[in-house]
Structure 1
Amino acid sequence: MFGDLKRFDTHQYQPDWFQQLFDSLFPDTGAADIRSVPRGSFPLINVGRTDDAVHVYVFGAGLTAGDLEISIQDNVLTLQGKRGTQDEDDAGEKARSHYRRERASGEFSRTIALPEGLDPDRAEAQFSNGVFRIHLPKRAELKPRRVEIQAA
């Protein structure tokens, strides 16, 4: 009676049959989830804005201050660098094989379009605990101004 409801072979001998079916229906778009950048993008970035400046937070686990080059040209922020491998243990012995390797290494580059009205000559960058903080102040003429109301 209910034989019509089962329209595909479940392959009970394969424990991941449902995942394979799901992957065939919804192919990989390259993104880890709907709010993220494509897989493998490094470093991860948060950008925020205040009345006075734009703040860019660059999450570069495993990087040092010398590993990242920051440049700004025509309202485009470019981050370039190189992340080395960690194939050696504390004793200096090189790892012989990997069972799983999720940490990418090598050269990277990220480019971000910035809003108009920033003053790149006054930009500052700080590094602490694997997080780079880039402070990009707005030009003085573009900052909000309070106008005093005078009684007539």
Structure 2
Amino acid sequence: MFGDLRRFDSGRLQGLDWFRQLMDEMLPEAGVADIRSVPRGSFPMINVGRTDDAVRVYVFAAGLAADELEVSLQDNVLSVSGRRESEAAREEASERTEFRRERFQGEFSRSLALPEGLDIERAEARFRDGVCEVVLPKREELKPRRIAIQAA
């Protein structure tokens, strides 16, 4: 019944992978690597979440120290910037040929618009294991309140 159907030719996919890799090398800033990823050059990666009390921003800056990262707030915009040196720049004495470099290096800057109603004056940032957590508390009047129900 299904004798006519051909098996999927995986050799064609390998050819497409080769072509995609070639295009990535020729045009490194064009497009995105995957449909679920951010555009190329978006470093550091950022996760944003909220609780009843605060908005939390997680900045994933692997390979950086806390003093190599700058976090600032102005007009409800959170900005993260810094510089990441390449391993080759750190190892000036050694000579080597690189065949492929996928790790971002150089200066970076990301900005994120924050929602209204945050108490920017009480913002805090903590850095641990390459992750900077920025906690932006909500103003008291915007926090959810429970209303007690009285029996009549």
**Normalized against structure 2, the TM-score is what?**
0.77
**Which structure has more helix as a fraction of its residues?**
2
Report the Cα offset of residue 20 of structure 1.
4.1
When residues 47 and 18 of structure 1 are mapped into structure 2, their CA distance, relative to the original with a 3 A threshold, is closer
2:7 aligned partner: none
1:41 aligned partner: 42
2:67 aligned partner: 66
CA distance in 2, matches of 1:103, 1:36: 15
CA root-mean-square deviation = 2.6
Q: Decide which structure has the larger Cα Rg and report it.
A: 1
Deviations 1:3-26 (A, max 9, x none): xxxxxxxxx9xx7268649x99xx
Report the Cα offset of residue 96 of structure 1.
2.9
Matched, 1:111 2:103: no
Q: Does the residue aligned with 1:16 lie in a helix, a strand or coil?
A: helix
Unaligned segments of structure 2, at least 5 residues: 1-10, 24-28
CA distance in 2, matches of 1:78, 1:98: 32
Kindly tell me the number of residue pairs found equivalent between the two proteins.
Answer: 133
Instruction: Detail structure 1 runs of 4+ shifted over 6 Å in the superposition.
Output: none
Matched, 1:123 2:92: no
**Normalized against structure 1, the TM-score is what?**
0.77
Unaligned segments of structure 1, at least 5 residues: 1-11
Deviations 1:55-83 (A, max 9, x none): 11111011100011111111111001111
**Greater mean alpha carbon deviation, residues 117-126 or residues 97-106:** 97-106
Percent identity of the aligned residues? 59
